[in-house]
Amino acid sequence: MAGKSEAAPHPYVPADLQLSEYVPVSLPFSTIIGVYFLSSILVTSLVWTLSGRLPKKAKIERLLMCWWVFTGLTHMILEGYFVFSPEFYKDKTSFYLAEVWKEYSKGDSRYAARESGIVSIEGLTSVLEGPACILAMYAIATEKSYSYILQFAISLGQLYGTFLYYITAVLDGDNFSSGPFYYYAYYVVANSFWILIPSLIAIRCWKKICAAMNSEGHKKRKIR
């Protein structure tokens, strides 16, 4: 129709996915990845340095503080932007967060399509788990009594969300990537960290909680 602007062809799957007014990624791949890694390194380095000033903090606790800040900010900033910016694919300003999701959608086009399951998972993650991760870092730093149970709960939530993310993709045909590189680099490898690390943390917290309960049980028996 004359006078009607046409969206640029998109790289996502399926090819007939309707993305009105789609604007292609303008930032180079190296810039998108570089900014994410550099900012992550700066934040975790700052937390590592500051945590070293806390008394009697073991290396594992300092590493956990770095993880919780990293994953918490990722949830709140990156995933939060996706949840509350439904038309990120129309962005013409080269805004970094919009560019991230245009690029990531090459590995999983459900993001560009705003699939309801994905929006729900990311919404809960950004609004609930993101702040909870920052609270977990604070709990470790201040040795709060709820530290282990909080870390355990968040880790279970991350595992649940990640498994649900994969399972829904498989049930829907597992055909949302633009190519093998995007499939393995974005969809498989990038998300695998939210299976491996939460699993290790959940196991550690489980052992700590069980040990504390056993110790409490022994104390009660001695008192009797």
CA 203, distance to chain mean position in Å, is: 20
pLDDT digit string, tens, across residues 83-105: 999 999 999 999 999 999 999 99
**Rounded-to-integer distance, Cα 113 and Cα 64, Å:** 34
What pLDDT does 220 receive? 63
Cα torsion 21, 182, 158, 148: sign: negative
User: Does the pLDDT at position 114 exceed 60?
Assistant: yes
pLDDT digit string, tens, across residues 141-195: 999 999 999 999 999 999 999 999 999 999 999 999 999 999 999 999 999 999 9
pLDDT interval class at 1 (50, 70, 90): very low
Asked if residue 195 lies in contact with residue 31, where contact means CB atoms within 8 angstroms, the answer is no
Which residues 6+ apart lie within 8 Å of 199 measured at CB?
Answer: 155, 159
Residues belonging to the chain? 224
* pTM exceeds cut of 0.85: yes
Alpha-helical segments (H) within 52-186: 59-73, 80-84, 96-104, 116-124, 130-142, 147-171, 180-182
Asked if residue 78 lies in contact with residue 97, where contact means CB atoms within 8 angstroms, the answer is yes
User: Does the pLDDT at position 217 exceed 90?
Assistant: no
Could you tell me the end-to-end alpha-carbon distance of the chain, in angstroms, rounded to an integer?
Answer: 87
**Rounded-to-integer distance, Cα 45 and Cα 56, Å:** 19
Tokens, residue 135: 């609270």
What pLDDT does 154 receive? 98
Asked if residue 202 lies in contact with residue 159, where contact means CB atoms within 8 angstroms, the answer is yes
User: Does the pLDDT at position 216 exceed 70?
Assistant: no
**Whole-Å CA distances, 194 to 65, 84, 215:** 16, 22, 31
